[in-house]
Amino acid sequence: MPRTLIEPQSPIERLSILDSEGNLDTALEPKLAADDLKRLYRAMVLGRRLDERMLKLQRQGRIGTFAPIKGQEAAQIGSVFTLRPADWLVPSFRETGAMLWRGWPIEKLLSLYAGRLEGSSPGPEQRDLPVTIPVATQLPHAVGIAYGIQYRGEDAVVMTYFGDGATSEGDFHEACNFAGVWHVPVVFVCQNNQWAISVPLKKQTNSRTIAQKAIAYGFPGIQVDGNDVLAVYAASREAVDRAQAGEGPTLIECVTYRLGVHTTADDPTKYRTDEEVKAWEQKDPLTRFRAYLEKKSLLEAGLEEQVDEEIARGVERFEAMPPADPLGMFEHAYAEPPAHLVAERAELAARLAAPGGDGAPPAAEPDSTPMRGQRRTSRWQN
């Protein structure tokens, strides 16, 4: 018998509306109100300026390691803009801009990177998950939430973020498979910033695009210029509308670039060239969108100063927070905590309540006759 074609090859589209040279495809330009365009730009500036301030705070030892977003503002703000409060946001570890848009206070985001429990606690009305550090593990969670929405007949959509490195993880493929099988209302937003820490995209996949990976799982994929906030918005608007209409998931590949370090513990000069970075700096999403707004006479005077003041107030509130409650370490790990943790919590609570209680264990009694090669230890020291 002759070979028969089961399915015609599915084409993958690339969407670009405003390129790095300032050329605008007016036929594709989304119809956004002037106030919305201003809000988009302000959110991008806030994300960038907070990123820069956080880098200084980290270098000063005032917060810990974090993942900067510089260069990826359009990919985040253009997509999250399409969500309603009733929709769900499931971030990875580099979505500061999207989380700000969703109402996370600056001081709460800073507290996360200071190791405080509050930083991982969304507000009672927020349909957001906290930052997820293990790569791609949030993607099955996002599909599970979307399945729950579908099962309950709710009017909501889930948008989840990840990087190109996450597409090399099994969690990504499992999530896409179940999203396709169940036809759930989820939008996968891949911020393809070209590097999975020090591994370039060409060493991660032989696919021409990440977007085409959606085809194998039975739903649409599209590649967009991730530094073009208009293109990201247009693709995200279409994907969210599809999900709301019961037409299932979409994979959006935002081709962008991480202009800074992977995290503040990283040195990108060890694996990429200055020439590459400078080439991508010419495609900066803020520079491009600013020029677009300038032509429309929509730039606000003193915007950067206003944003800097908002950030300064957030830093002040963060640093004015009272000391964290040590007992918080026992919360939110188990629905029903095991007996040994209950006992340890009670022991720590008693120590804290004691006069001068700071939770410190009593000093070990000196042993005047230790055996050769041995030293006294306690379980608190292990």
Averaged pLDDT for residues 99-107: 97
Shared-domain flag, residues 249 and 379: no
Q: Report if residue 117 sits inside a domain.
A: yes
Q: Identify the DSSP state of 263.
A: S
CATH of the domain at 214: 3.40.50.970
Q: Is the pLDDT of residue 370 over 70?
A: no
How many C-beta neighbours within 10 Å does residue 119 have? 19
What pLDDT score does 117 carry?
85
pLDDT tens digit sequence for 181-206: 999 999 999 999 999 999 999 999 99
Q: Report if residue 3 sits inside a domain.
A: no
Task: Tell me how far apart the alpha carbons of residues 364 and 356 are, in angstroms, rounded to a whole number.
Answer: 18
Q: Report if residue 88 sits inside a domain.
A: yes
Tokens 């370039």 label which residue? 200
Q: Is the pLDDT of residue 100 over 70?
A: yes
Query: Considering all CA atoms of the chain, what is the largest pairwise distance in Å, rounded to the nearest integer?
Result: 90
Q: How far is CA 265 from the centre of its chain?
A: 18
Q: Report if residue 8 sits inside a domain.
A: no
Task: Tell me how far apart the alpha carbons of residues 213 and 269 are, in angstroms, rounded to a whole number.
Answer: 31
Averaged pLDDT for residues 368-380: 43
Q: Last residue of a domain, which of 319, 336, 367?
A: 319
Model confidence at 333, in pLDDT bands (50, 70, 90)? confident
Q: Last residue of a domain, which of 319, 341, 369?
A: 319
Shared-domain flag, residues 336 and 267: no
Q: Report if residue 6 sits inside a domain.
A: no
Q: Is the pLDDT of residue 369 over 60?
A: no
Tokens 């200084």 label which residue? 56
Shared-domain flag, residues 295 and 333: no
Shared-domain flag, residues 331 and 210: no
Tell which wins on pLDDT, 284 or 359: 284
What pLDDT score does 152 carry?
97
Shared-domain flag, residues 148 and 242: yes
Shared-domain flag, residues 220 and 342: no
Is the Cβ–Cβ distance between 97 and 77 less than 8 Å? yes
Burial (0-12, 13-18, 19+ Cβ within 10 Å), 54? buried
Is the Cβ–Cβ distance between 320 and 106 less than 8 Å? no
- Written as one string, the DSSP assignment of 320-339 is TPPPPPGGGGGTTS-SS--H
What are phi and psi for residue 366, nearest 5 degrees?
Answer: -65, 145
Q: Report if residue 265 sits inside a domain.
A: yes
Q: Is the pLDDT of residue 365 over 60?
A: no
To which H or E segment does residue 254 belong?
Answer: strand 250-255
Q: What are the residue numbers of the active site?
A: 258, 262, 271
Shared-domain flag, residues 146 and 68: yes
Total of domains in the chain: 2
Q: Last residue of a domain, which of 269, 299, 319?
A: 319
Q: Is the pLDDT of residue 379 over 50?
A: no
Distances (CA, A) of 345 to 220, 356, 359: 49, 18, 11
Shared-domain flag, residues 281 and 371: no
Mean pLDDT computed over every residue of the chain: 93
Shared-domain flag, residues 311 and 330: no
Is the Cβ–Cβ distance between 111 and 321 less than 8 Å? yes
What pLDDT score does 118 carry?
87
Is the Cβ–Cβ distance between 83 and 157 less than 8 Å? yes
Q: Is the pLDDT of residue 367 over 70?
A: no
- Which residue range is the domain that position 223 belongs to? 14-319
